Structure 1
Amino acid sequence: MGFNGGEMTAEVERVFVGAGCNRIVNNVSWGACDLLSFGTQNAVAIFCPKTAQIVTTLPGHNAYVNCTQWLPNSKFAFKAKNFERHYLLSGDADGTILLWEFSLVDNKWRNVLQLPEKHKKGVTCISAIMVSDSDAMFASSSSDGVVSVWEIVLPSISGGECKLSCLDTIFVGRKPMVALSLVELPGQNGHLALAMGGLDNKIHIYSGERIGKFVHACELKGHTDWIRSLDFSLPLHENNETYTLLVSSSQDKGIRIWKMASLQANSTTEENTLSSYIKGPIFLSGSFSYQISLESLLIGHEDWVYSVEWQPPQSSSDQGIECYQPQSILSASMDKTMMIWQPEKTSGIWMNMVTVGELSHCALGFYSGSWSPSGSSILAHGYGGSFHHWRNVGTDFDDWKPQKVPSGHFASVSDISWARDGEYLLSVSHDQTSRVFTAWCGEGGEAWHEIARPQVHGHDINCVTVIRGNGNHRFVSGADEKVARVFEATLSFLNTLSHANPHKSGQAYDLPSNVQILGANMSALGLSQKPIYVQAPAEPKERNNNEGVDTLETIPEAVPVALTEAPIEEQLAWHTLWPESHKLYGHGNELFSLCSDYEGKLVASSCKAQSASVADIWLWEIGSWKAVGRLHSHTLTVTQLEFSHDNAYLLSVSRDRNFSIFEIKHTETEEIDHGLVIRQEAHKRIIWACSWNPFAHQFATGSRDKTVKIWELENGSSVKLLTTLPTFKSSVTALSWLGIDRQKNHGLLAIGMESGLIEVWSIISNGESENSGVNASLFVRFDPYMCHVSSVHRLRWRSAEKSGDSSKVQLASCGDDHCVRIFQVVV
């Protein structure tokens, strides 16, 4: 046996990233480069609205990402037409703020710097403005009751240094600020206003200069609940008057527009008269004084208004120097709607001109609304980690149509499983959903999208296995409820799958012709999913009477249909459920691990265990779903199970640091005969992962002790250690072995770690002979920008013969960072 330390260079491409948005306000920012940023667990994800794909994730934070802010954002897109580099700020729950640089020339990202002074608690908001082409200012607020104001000078050359200076630190007291907006005061350069709002229901205006401190100028009262969002417009000029508008929103369901007008220098205003008092407070900044008055009150939302934003200014010249500020505001609310407000042409009264939103019962409202730089698209992110994108496709009049968006889990992704022929990937998560991702062939080529959400459940789902063998597509999932559930694909899903890949549908999909179930409905209490049959009479529903009513009693009927293009959130959340066909009772605790054999005859399951009596592995017969065996060996939780590729053995690894191998035999009377072959202590810490060599009775185990060991089962009775790979820098949490060449017994072992990093090792062994040995070498180490930012939970190779080109193989992974990832590796 031997180890070859030479690192081979192999190509790895990112094929797909699926992730949901952290459920927090101020998390999403739309950049002038027409990319969107958002936090997904500890990663900053970047997505392209044109392709509806996540293009990368940025590692660097050690806590939940709370807010992101582009420099320049969509508001300053008119200034950024010739920018070669764009910058992004991100703040997390530890108080850390990072600055990233994105180069448009080579599409590369780099972590430029971390702000030297951390907030003591989580960052709640970042607001930034471009003062010039190379100069920006931003303010950050935190739960620690501090608002910091920074100036940043951007480098003139690629890879240059950013100069950062803290202008001021403002202590706001025990009621922290959660909304900020910065603006250059109209009429004079270098003077700024900072609006902040939070838990004391007031808007506080601070004025300051680019070189000095900020002083408290005035307070604006009117809102009766927490201030949630603030946004200044660019300066406006009208009737020889220069002013800027501030829009504010609150948990009192109202939106207010405030006018900040500059008065003539040294003008003798009636400072104490009644008229000036009615108009609002006056403050002095430099040689100008400014008066703030309430311009308008917008009432229309029925719940908290989390976000308001002015439509980005549009340039009126090719150089982008001159611009005008459209009189248009976007608001997003927990009442599940976004509204566009504009002043009526005749009266000038602000009216709600456009309303878009969600009607599905499972949406719980919107956390934010964002404009695209052109003002032709709007995007919201919702409670379920989901995005909702509308584009104005009308020419003579507004016509807002929903668009495709990236989607994914909004909590830790616990397990993944490829379909038996690799045509789709199924994932389950602690967000209590299972999701199906597949490559959709469209005009622009092949792109991966979520096409179904088979299970929407009341418990965190820990494990899943797709059942092999012929017949309809089925899977078993296990959750925090001691019961495994069996789900079966619907006719509408099978038809959608054939639309997604029309050139494969004939031979690759063994579509059963006798599927009678069209879709599934969720019961009122959400405890099970009931089938909708193909032949069921369509009862006319009197929907109009209850339209808009959203209670448990009036849950809408699902309308399962074959999808002809990648679905949007509303279709996924409600119309793509699979019916539950069986429940498997027997375990005493929460389900932890599942696997099925390669013939589609058996499923093995384990649950969380603190004692030997509960740590049994159960065997279930597929079809009858009877328990046909209980395997005793371990004393603590069995963390992973896997059948050998010839189905002769079942391998289990456990928290008790042992692995066990059980022999599985099918007797002539179709009964299951099983027996423990060997149990062995293999590592010094918990064993998290195991995987069989597809070509031999060899297997790998990976542990918290940061080692991976390769073993061989000899003569069906004893186990020999072939080699131990060099110690890794982090705990090994996931393994997957792919066979490459049967003659040479050559394979690739994918290794996932607690740090989120992934490596692939080349394993060549000279067979099951007396002098058998293993030659192991590092094949490729994945770029950290491609990898997870937290623990990898599962790795799965796609069946090689199904992924097209034999020189390329695909590896799927899932992790604690809410992400499902697919990589292409050139072998």
Structure 2
Amino acid sequence: MADMVENRYLSAGANRYAAAADWSEDGLVAFGSDANVCLWDPTDSRGISHILGGHTAHVRAVKFLPRDEGDKVVHLVTGGDDKQLRLWAVDSETGSAACVQTVQEHTEPINCIAAFRGAASGNAARRIFVTGGADATVRVWALEAGQITPLQTIKTTKKYMPLTIALSALEEGNGLILAVAGTTNAVQIFTASATDGTSGVDFTLQATLPGHENWIRSLDFLPEKPDQGSDVLLASASQDKYIRLWRIHQGTALSALNATGLDLSADALTPGNKIHKIMAGATKYCIMFEALLLGHEDWIYSARWCRAADGRLRLLSASADNSLSLWESDPESGIWITVARLGEISREKGATTATGSIGGFWTGLWSPSGNTVITLGRTGSWRRWDYDAADDAWKQTFAISGHTRAVTGISWSRDGVYLLSTSSDQTTRLHAEWALDAANNSWHEMSRPQIHGYDLNCISALGPSSFVSGADEKLMRVFTEPKAVARMLSRLTNTAPPSSETEAALPDAANMPVLGLSNKAVDTIPDDADLPPTDSPEQVDPATLVRTSALDTLTHPPLEESLSRHTLWPETEKLYGHGYELSCLAASHDGALIASACRASSLNHAVIRLFETRRWTELRPPLQAHTLTVARVRFSADDRFLVSVGRDRGWVVWERNREEKDGGYGYGLVQANGKGHARMILDAAWAPPPVGGGGVRVFATAGRDKLVKVWVRKAGDEGRQFELGKAITEEHPVTALDFVPEVTGEGSLLLAVGTEAGKLSVLTLRVEGGEVQVLSTLVVKKELCLPKAVMQLAWRPAREGRKGRELAIAGEDGSLRIYAFPSL
């Protein structure tokens, strides 16, 4: 039954490490995301295809090993903060992957991996790769017969931490060259004479290349020409904002100088371009400083070579100045120049990192063909540019995005058109299904309504065009959808646009003031409107303006620039009353009430506050029954009941008052069970109400005591007491629950269960009188489960013409997933 689950959407932000991503020869991108490894084909609009779990801490380094021709399996090596080196076998046809080996030789986190495939030895091809760790060691490995074995351990002579390594072959038969650098301003060069056979390799230190003035972040080798005997070029990128190019030449220093046409006078041989002599086996080589590349204004995180189809060499550099630079050597002068600069324009960085500056680019990758580049920013989102030969220009297109920290709350819009998610990364994101055509629908982030200065903890949709969220501050904020986003969503999701009356009431767009936390409604400005000159007192930051066509002309999901600047929702209300950080909130299904709670260690703060949404006032007095933090509040589908659970191990059921009170309906205590579970209760969910409003009422609670408890109130029970109908034992603490909003055709209830270990299951329950039976359990297969706790679950509201059900899953690992259950 586990095979009945289908993956519809995977969203996860990438880890911000220069070595945490790689692009395979087959066109597959792998990148670290928290403790996961994500696989993504940039040519496929569906985004991430697989999330691989296994690591227990952040993944810092990812590298594909080149495969033999005809081999359908590609090997991927990953390492990170858990000190483990994992080998994955990736099927090049299906993209599925499995971990085949785990090795732990490093004693500190693994920072970088470099790979090289050696020549054939007998009947077996030998693949060499190297890892660098925070334990100040570089370790050499071999992949043979689908397994990795250690060959050599090199301790860095200056006791620095390797942050980058590069590996290349010298002329055939003459061995390997290894460059190592990191928390030092020099590059160490090692060589090994053996490239095949079973005798192993023995790297020895040959030279130390000075010149940089700060830590070195990236190294990359490439032969200058594909011919045998060609010189090898090394690019080194540093925090000193410069890239240095080095030439490795076979022969003497004199032959190297003659080959490059450099000045042979003694005055020309300054310390900066000193020639370093090295040996690989019995062959002599020399290393010379080739060029200094200037242009970036901040740290450079990565520099990678690519050979174009016409044989020209190109270098791609990614910098903290929010730009990518493409470098080429001028064919006449030989001077390296920037032929294209991609990314942010300096004057449009914005006033704050929230609305403008994306915190730099952390890595840049070439596609196998060299016609596409991608880069990663602070927000965890990828940006992509494709080369248009007709226009001789690089054009940006949409890529993928995701949360970079735990997803703490999710909420479907009332009609199920979009899903809202909020996270500890201080953003709220809106995800919707792009109706590309009848056969190809794919999910994407369509809007980023809220970018905050506090970690966000909870969210709930209020209606078709508004939501409320709570963060690590003492207030809640209410947001309304702007016209620009409403029109874009209608067009891209192929749903009905808002009525003219509704649209007229919506603001045009929103922006965030300097050093502010509140999104302000703004009017869009015409595309042809002239801005004041830069030296004018009225000059405004272009990043704070929203052009009329910013979203109206989009035919694809918005780019990262649009998401972070043009898709904000204006804040319409603030709701005060709590004394500490918000822990949970929920909006009633009719949108009339908001129930919320905050972190508490005393009776005074362990209360539930109700706010009515007509005048945005609090209904007093607050609901008081808990003694510690309330972890979750949930309204029943008909809003008649409210259930609350918390750290005090108890649950409380409240019932709506019959009389209207202060513009809204208040709630009164029905039943309090102070010993509902043996440990704290983390979630609760109401089953769909009985037809006609009578009959049996059911809700479920999830506890850290590894139990799911189903509570039942029998039909016609005058005492209005809920009694335990069933206790279901799980292997791990239960962290999330949600009932399908409707009863099945057979009269059963479907309950989704998520645990602290990331396990997912769907229980089919039958309630007869006060008895609860578990008819069946659908356990989601291990490959689709999470490596960390399930934070929340939410079934998508049923939609006309759609078969089966879809479940949204919020993970502590920073992933947001939507799984389809076609048979439900």
Common fold: TM-score over 0.5: yes
Q: CA deviation at 1:818?
A: 0.9
Matches within 5 A, 1:286-325: 286-312=281-307
Structure 1 pair 422–368 and aligned structure 2 pair: CA distance change class (3 A)? same
Q: CA deviation at 1:695?
A: 3.0
Matches within 5 A, 1:532-551: 532-533=522-523, 540-542=530-532
2:173 aligned with 1:188, yes or no?
Answer: yes
Aligned equivalents of 2:756, 2:235: Cα separation in 1: 44
Post-superposition CA distance 1:468-513 (Å, at most 9, x none) = 4xxx5110000001110000111111111110222x316x999824
2:618 aligned with 1:627, yes or no?
Answer: yes
Structure 1 gap ranges (5+): 1-7, 73-78, 156-160, 315-323
Match of 2:705, as an amino acid?
D
Post-superposition CA distance 1:6-29 (Å, at most 9, x none) = xx5561100001111112221111
Post-superposition CA distance 1:30-69 (Å, at most 9, x none) = 1112111111111111111012400010010001111111
- Range moving further from structure 2, 21-30 or 372-381: 21-30
Match of 2:820, as an amino acid?
Q
2:42 aligned with 1:49, yes or no?
Answer: yes
Matches within 5 A, 1:20-99: 20-52=13-45, 53-72=47-66, 82-99=70-87
Structure 1 pair 380–84 and aligned structure 2 pair: CA distance change class (3 A)? same
Structure 1 pair 199–719 and aligned structure 2 pair: CA distance change class (3 A)? same
Aligned equivalents of 1:132, 1:757: Cα separation in 2: 44
Name the residue aligned to 1:346: 332
Aligned equivalents of 1:741, 1:662: Cα separation in 2: 23
Q: CA deviation at 1:164?
A: 2.3
Match of 1:457, as an amino acid?
H
CA contact (8 A) 1:64 1:92 kept: yes
Structure 1 pair 535–445 and aligned structure 2 pair: CA distance change class (3 A)? same
2:213 aligned with 1:224, yes or no?
Answer: yes
Structure 1 pair 390–534 and aligned structure 2 pair: CA distance change class (3 A)? closer
2:240 aligned with 1:256, yes or no?
Answer: no
CA contact (8 A) 2:2 2:781 kept: no
Aligned equivalents of 2:20, 2:524: Cα separation in 1: 43
Among 130, 136, 145, the residue aligned to 1:145: 136
Aligned equivalents of 1:282, 1:552: Cα separation in 2: 56
Name the residue aligned to 1:570: 561
Name the residue aligned to 2:700: 700
2:477 aligned with 1:477, yes or no?
Answer: no
CA contact (8 A) 1:186 1:244 kept: no
Name the residue aligned to 2:732: 730
Structure 1 pair 21–509 and aligned structure 2 pair: CA distance change class (3 A)? farther
Q: CA deviation at 1:685?
A: 0.9
Name the residue aligned to 1:365: 360
Aligned equivalents of 1:421, 1:45: Cα separation in 2: 30
Provide the alpha-carbon RMSD of the alignment.
2.8
Q: CA deviation at 1:534?
A: 6.8
Post-superposition CA distance 1:364-417 (Å, at most 9, x none) = 11111110000000111112212111010123x631011211111111110000
Matches within 5 A, 1:156-235: 161-189=146-174, 191-208=175-192, 209-210=194-195, 211-234=200-223
Structure 1 segments (4+ residues) deviating >6 Å: 264-270, 508-511, 534-539, 551-554
Q: CA deviation at 1:129?
A: 1.4
Aligned equivalents of 2:798, 2:226: Cα separation in 1: 64
Aligned equivalents of 1:287, 1:406: Cα separation in 2: 50
Name the residue aligned to 2:647: 655
Structure 1 pair 801–362 and aligned structure 2 pair: CA distance change class (3 A)? same
Name the residue aligned to 1:718: 721
Aligned equivalents of 2:166, 2:527: Cα separation in 1: 56
Structure 1 pair 30–652 and aligned structure 2 pair: CA distance change class (3 A)? same
Name the residue aligned to 1:320: none
CA contact (8 A) 1:265 1:288 kept: no
Name the residue aligned to 1:491: 483
* TM-score calculated relative to the size of structure 2: 0.90
Post-superposition CA distance 1:724-782 (Å, at most 9, x none) = 11x2221111000014536643121111111112111111112xx3xx32221443211
Structure 1 pair 172–778 and aligned structure 2 pair: CA distance change class (3 A)? farther
Structure 1 pair 566–498 and aligned structure 2 pair: CA distance change class (3 A)? same
Aligned equivalents of 2:387, 2:450: Cα separation in 1: 33
Q: CA deviation at 1:717?
A: 2.2
Name the residue aligned to 1:427: 421
Name the residue aligned to 1:120: 107
Match of 1:529, as an amino acid?
N
Aligned equivalents of 2:256, 2:507: Cα separation in 1: 79
Name the residue aligned to 1:387: 382
Q: CA deviation at 1:646?
A: 1.7
CA contact (8 A) 2:322 2:357 kept: no
Aligned equivalents of 1:539, 1:371: Cα separation in 2: 38
Post-superposition CA distance 1:104-145 (Å, at most 9, x none) = 24443110101242x111111111112247422111111111
2:765 aligned with 1:763, yes or no?
Answer: yes
Among 444, 450, 454, the residue aligned to 1:455: 450
Aligned equivalents of 1:289, 1:545: Cα separation in 2: 60
CA contact (8 A) 2:375 2:384 kept: yes
Among 4, 9, 16, the residue aligned to 1:16: 9
Q: CA deviation at 1:267?
A: 10
Aligned equivalents of 1:229, 1:667: Cα separation in 2: 69
Aligned equivalents of 1:440, 1:511: Cα separation in 2: 26
Among 784, 787, 791, the residue aligned to 2:789: 791
2:433 aligned with 1:446, yes or no?
Answer: no
* 3-state SS, counterpart of residue 499 of structure 1: helix
Structure 1 pair 300–720 and aligned structure 2 pair: CA distance change class (3 A)? same
Structure 1 pair 738–511 and aligned structure 2 pair: CA distance change class (3 A)? farther
Q: CA deviation at 1:537?
A: 12
Match of 2:22, as an amino acid?
S
- Range moving further from structure 2, 103-112 or 11-20: 103-112
Structure 1 pair 448–682 and aligned structure 2 pair: CA distance change class (3 A)? same
- Range moving further from structure 2, 773-782 or 51-60: 773-782
Aligned equivalents of 1:105, 1:342: Cα separation in 2: 35
Match of 2:210, as an amino acid?
K
CA contact (8 A) 1:152 1:165 kept: no
Name the residue aligned to 2:628: 636
CA contact (8 A) 1:386 1:407 kept: yes
* 3-state SS, counterpart of residue 573 of structure 1: helix
CA contact (8 A) 1:424 1:439 kept: yes
CA contact (8 A) 1:266 1:288 kept: no
Q: Percent identity?
A: 33
Q: CA deviation at 1:213?
A: 1.8
Structure 1 pair 349–362 and aligned structure 2 pair: CA distance change class (3 A)? closer
Q: Which one has more relative contact order, counting CA pairs under 8 Å at least 6 apart?
A: 1
Q: CA deviation at 1:709?
A: 0.7
Q: CA deviation at 1:166?
A: 2.4
CA contact (8 A) 2:253 2:277 kept: no
Structure 1 pair 268–97 and aligned structure 2 pair: CA distance change class (3 A)? closer
Q: CA deviation at 1:699?
A: 0.6
* TM-score calculated relative to the size of structure 1: 0.90
Structure 1 pair 139–241 and aligned structure 2 pair: CA distance change class (3 A)? closer
CA contact (8 A) 2:141 2:148 kept: no
Name the residue aligned to 2:261: none
Q: CA deviation at 1:268?
A: 14
Match of 1:385, as an amino acid?
G
Q: CA deviation at 1:81?
A: 5.8
CA contact (8 A) 1:250 1:305 kept: yes
2:98 aligned with 1:110, yes or no?
Answer: yes
CA contact (8 A) 1:42 1:62 kept: yes
* 3-state SS, counterpart of residue 784 of structure 2: coil
Q: CA deviation at 1:640?
A: 0.6
Aligned equivalents of 2:425, 2:609: Cα separation in 1: 26
* 3-state SS, counterpart of residue 788 of structure 1: coil
Q: CA deviation at 1:554?
A: 7.1
Aligned equivalents of 1:576, 1:85: Cα separation in 2: 41
Among 597, 603, 626, the residue aligned to 1:606: 597
Aligned equivalents of 1:109, 1:132: Cα separation in 2: 26
Match of 2:446, as an amino acid?
I
Aligned equivalents of 1:246, 1:252: Cα separation in 2: 17
* 3-state SS, counterpart of residue 565 of structure 2: helix
Name the residue aligned to 1:805: 802
2:519 aligned with 1:522, yes or no?
Answer: no
